[in-house]
Amino acid sequence: MELLASYNEQVGALVLGNAPQDAKYTSHQIQKEILHVFARNVQSSIRHKIGDARFCLIVDEARDESRREQMALVIRGQGYDCASNMRGEWNGLQALFINDCPYAYYVHCLAHQLQLALIAAAREISDVHTFFQNLIFIINIVSASCKRNDELRAFQAATIEHLVDIGEIETGKGVNQVGGLQRPGDSRWSSYFKSICSLIKMYGATCLVLENIALDGSTYSQCGDAAFSFKSLMSFDFAFFLHIMKNVMRITDVLCQALQQKSQDILNAMHLVTSTKTLIQKLRDDGWETLLEEVTSFCKH
């Protein structure tokens, strides 16, 4: 409160000057009242900003650090993907909105279309499809509980400490941070690339967690799934696809990030697409020997 008072004279005069000295404002009821005041001010500001303009609702979810789903509601538009439970005219989410508000209109979330097209094209190749299925399966097993996540982080921290001691990695502010495995999502830009990079970074820790689950799993199905995942993770084919997809997606990720900019002209977008195709073709023509050396070195370590 003293900090706020230093920026706002009204807080200093009306709150600090009149409030009892023993007032802490920490009771459940007082906190709820304060939150309602904040909420009313935010709602009033949003209504003032929208005015008579059209708007729609976008509802999205994301996982927090504890791997729990969190729902965020942002007033922008009634726009989402084309799944039947979302855009269905009779029982979908848009139908529920229209029943309550006849003037609401549905807009397909165009931001996902290119991402979905790229995913669909990649899955036309059976080996790539199998690789991503195994990737998702491995991440789901290792990230299934907070206990396994804690175990993964502990193994990763020990690995980083060992590599620092033998001088294979450097120390510094913001480097070698312990993270987690990223789950890919078809409608989230760059999520597959981040998922691959996170697994490469935590490869050794992931192997240790899968070994422990295979030996000490609470059920036979857990042990079997972990053993199968560990076998897949240790195969040369999986390591090969892990690195080739990383190299390809490192190139395409630059294009993905650029296309998400709020202002983008069509000529520049076409130039970016052409550059991306050129780099991928160069990787196809000249990158096999380097890729094989990279994968071989990765497997030896």
The arithmetic mean of pLDDT across residues 131-151, rounded, is: 86
Give 232 or 55, the one with higher predicted confidence.
Answer: 232
pLDDT class for 278, splitting at 50, 70, 90?
Answer: very high
The arithmetic mean of pLDDT across residues 2-24, rounded, is: 75
Q: pLDDT averaged over the chain?
A: 80
pLDDT value for 13: 76
pLDDT value for 93: 80
Domain chopping of the chain, boundaries = 2-110, 115-300
pLDDT value for 168: 67
CA distance between the termini of the chain: 55
pLDDT value for 172: 60
- Tens of pLDDT, residues 191-231: 888 899 989 988 888 888 898 889 888 788 889 999 999 99
CA distance 256 to 71: 25
Name the phi and psi angles at 219, rounded to 5: -130, 160
- Tens of pLDDT, residues 233-261: 999 999 999 999 999 888 888 888 887 77
Highest mean pLDDT, choosing among 55-64, 107-116, 118-127, 274-283: 274-283
pLDDT class for 56, splitting at 50, 70, 90?
Answer: low
- Tens of pLDDT, residues 104-126: 776 666 556 667 777 778 778 88
CA distance 267 to 80: 28
Token digits for 215? 């030996």
Sign of dihedral through CA atoms 57, 58, 60, 64?
negative
- Range from 44-48, 53-57, 220-224, 282-286 carrying the lowest mean pLDDT: 53-57
pTM above threshold 0.75: no
pLDDT value for 78: 63
Give 36 or 65, the one with higher predicted confidence.
Answer: 36
Indicate the helix (H) or strand (E) that contains 74.
strand 69-76
List C-alpha distances in Å: 262 to 78, 187, 259.
19, 18, 8
pLDDT class for 74, splitting at 50, 70, 90?
Answer: low
pLDDT class for 281, splitting at 50, 70, 90?
Answer: very high
Give 186 or 135, the one with higher predicted confidence.
Answer: 135
CA distance 193 to 184: 8
pLDDT value for 145: 79
Answer whether residue 72 shows pLDDT above 70: no
Name the phi and psi angles at 61, rounded to 5: -130, 155
- Residues 42-78, buried b or exposed e (16+ Cβ, 10 A)? eeeeeeeeeeeeeebebeeeeeeeeeeeeeeeeeebb
Residues 6+ apart with CB under 8 A from 151: 209, 212
Tally of residues, the chain:
301
pLDDT value for 247: 92
pLDDT value for 239: 92
